[in-house]
Amino acid sequence: MNWVLSSLLFLPPLMGIFHLLTAGALKSPARQWGSYGSALKRIALFWSFISLISTIILWLSLDQEGGFTPLMDIDWIEGPEKIIPITMGGPLVFAVDGISIYFIILTGFIVPCSILISWHSVKYLTKGFLICMLILEFLLYAVFSVLDIFMFYILFEGVLIPMYLILGIWGSREEKMQAAYYFFFYTLIGSVLMLLCLFSLYNIHGTTDYLTLASCSHVPSQQQQKWIFLGIFLAMAVKIPIFPFHIWLPKAHVEAPVAGSVLLAGILLKLGGYGLVRLSWPILPLGAQNLAPAVIAMGIVGIVYGSFATCRQIDVKRLVAYSSVAHMGLVSITLVTHDIIGLTGSIFIMLAHGIVSSLLFILVTILYDRHHTRLIKYYRGLSITMPIWGTIMIVTSLANVAVPPSGNFIGEYLSILSSFNWNPIIGVFVCSGVILSAVYSFYFANRVTFGASGSLITSPRDVNRREFYITASMIFFAFLIGVYPIFILEVIQNSLFFIAL
């Protein structure tokens, strides 16, 4: 039990929630700063920044050799034996290792960004919105650090609730209900299957403790592993999303408020990938090996299909969403090729894509805030009226197509390398995504940014200071992890060696 580290991780969001709840009652001095809503936002922002700083401290105090740094263990369902005779396998352990810490930092980074970017766009129920954000942050921290697959499942589904609320309450249009319905339809079907699989795992092992499962990964027979993996994979495939289960994503993105889009693209999609990293090779190696070809086929279809669909979108948010489908196809391929290079590459893509696609959504929202349309056809020549925005847009597009010094390049290169190792033909297919991503990214960036400025939109205003700080810092990190990736790569690989192989 490491009280310092666990309170570093979990306390700031909880404190933020508490502070927000009491803010109205206590008549805090924050009232004097401005309006009530603004004060609330400042509180939430403050605590999310504290949280970001404490995740970085956590990262610095991490076990660099790849082992788990324990945070805390709670006696959970296992109570006095007379009352509840079943045990769910010992205490509930929260721990952090080199894989989860980067997702935690990403969460800690994205949440303040999304609070900042929705500073003016959330106009009603501000307090509820901010509480939702902080609860989401807390749940994400928990889901990335829990070492019990049953609790993982609960938190995994628990993340949906604040997300669903954000989507349904603060969404932009009437169709938000349909989007929320799609979102729930897919994720619930997937999670039911996953729950069944977790139960059968518990049946086999008698525990749901992750490390125990990982150390007895050879116990279930091949047939069992295959079915269990299939169930878990379907749940994750919905989240990632992989090809036939992806259609909730564009809808959800289009209808979601900006913070929802950013969190969805930045972290929630990565939750599926993270789940696969944790649950596929370490605990079900035979199942993963058996079903790898199917997963890879779906991934390839996802890349090509997603890219083609992206090329013809005229709604900017849907365009970015489809490009996420294409990128995540690559991630899903390399998650199952079973070598360190591939796993590292896919984790790296997830991190880089978490930053870059969030940034794309932020940029799109900046446009939407000014002109209230998301159709590409209305936009032209923004580099004249919004030069800073145009510059950031072009640079982000470059990162999105994985131009070398960006983090996406490192991930993409390692992924292609790994898939090529698995089968050269796969590598060639994967490379088609390299070309097509250039087609859609530059079509979009060029169409919007360059050209003579049109007469269809008025009142051009460049990014303001708040937006600039967010976007510039995100670009900085997107390229920093590409220029000097070794400080991430080493720890990830040590941890992968520790659990996956």
Partner 1 sequence: MYLIVLLLPFINAFFLGFCGRLIGTIGSGVLSTICMGSSTLIALLLAYEILVNDAVVHIELYKWVESEILITHVGLLYDTLSVTMLLVISSISTLVHIYSTSYMSDDPHVPRFLCYLSLFTFLMMVLVTSDNYLQLFIGWEGVGVCSYLLVAFWTTRIQANKAAIKAIVVNRVGDVGVILGMILIYKTIGSLDFSALEAGFVKPPILDNGARLDPWAPWAPIGILLLIGCIGKSAQLGLHTWLPDAMEGTDSNGSRAPQHKWTAGVFLMIRSFPLFEKAPLALLIITIFGALTAFFAATVGLVQNDLKKVIAYSTCSQLGYMVLIIGIEGSHNVGLFHLFNHAFFKALLFLSAGAVVHSTNYDEQDMRKMGGLIHSIPFTYTMMLIGSFSIMGLPYLTGFYSKDLILELTYSGRNMGVPYFISEQGHHLESLEGSIGSQGGDKRPWGGAEGSGPAPLAPPLIALWPESEPSRGSAFAFWLGTFAAFLTAFYSIRLVYITFIISPNSSKESLISSHINIVDKRVLTVLSLLCFGAIFFGYLFQDILIGDIEHPIVPPFIKVLPTLAGVFGMSLSLLLYWGFDSIGPLFILPIYSFLGGAWQFNHTINKLIAIPFFNFGHWGTYKTLDRGWLELFGPQGAGYLGTRVSQAISNLQSGVISRYALVLLSFTIIFLSLWG
Residues that bind partner 1 (CB under 8 A): 181-182, 185-186, 244, 247-248, 250, 305, 308-313, 339-341, 344-345, 381, 383-384, 394, 398, 401, 403-405, 409-410, 413-414, 416-417, 420-421, 427-428, 431-432, 434-435, 438-439, 442-443, 446, 449-453, 484-486, 489-490, 493
Report helix angle 222-239 to 269-279, nearest 10. Answer: 160
Q: Which is nearer to partner 1, 147 or 489 (CB)?
A: 489
Min CB(186)–partner 1 separation in Å: 7
Min CB(226)–partner 1 separation in Å: 24
Min CB(397)–partner 1 separation in Å: 10
The total of other beta-carbon atoms located within 10 Å of residue 378's CB is: 15
225's CB contacts (< 8 A; 6+ apart) are 284, 285, 286, 287, 290
Q: Which is nearer to partner 1, 14 or 394 (CB)?
A: 394
Q: Which is nearer to partner 1, 111 or 463 (CB)?
A: 463
What's the length of the chain? 501
237's CB contacts (< 8 A; 6+ apart) are 190, 245, 272, 298, 332
CA 377 to chain centre: 29
Cα separation, 260 vs 291, in Å, equals 33
- Which amino acid would we find at residue 431? C
Min CB(62)–partner 1 separation in Å: 18
Q: Which is nearer to partner 1, 48 or 408 (CB)?
A: 408
Min CB(424)–partner 1 separation in Å: 8
Min CB(488)–partner 1 separation in Å: 11
Q: Which is nearer to partner 1, 136 or 235 (CB)?
A: 235
Cα separation, 69 vs 181, in Å, equals 39
Q: What angle do CA 293, 296, 298 make, to 5 degrees?
A: 110
Min CB(308)–partner 1 separation in Å: 4
Q: Which is nearer to partner 1, 154 or 403 (CB)?
A: 403
Q: Which is nearer to partner 1, 232 or 430 (CB)?
A: 430
Cα separation, 67 vs 48, in Å, equals 27
Is residue 422 within 8 A of residue 346, CB to CB? The reply is: no
Place of tokens 């948010």: 317
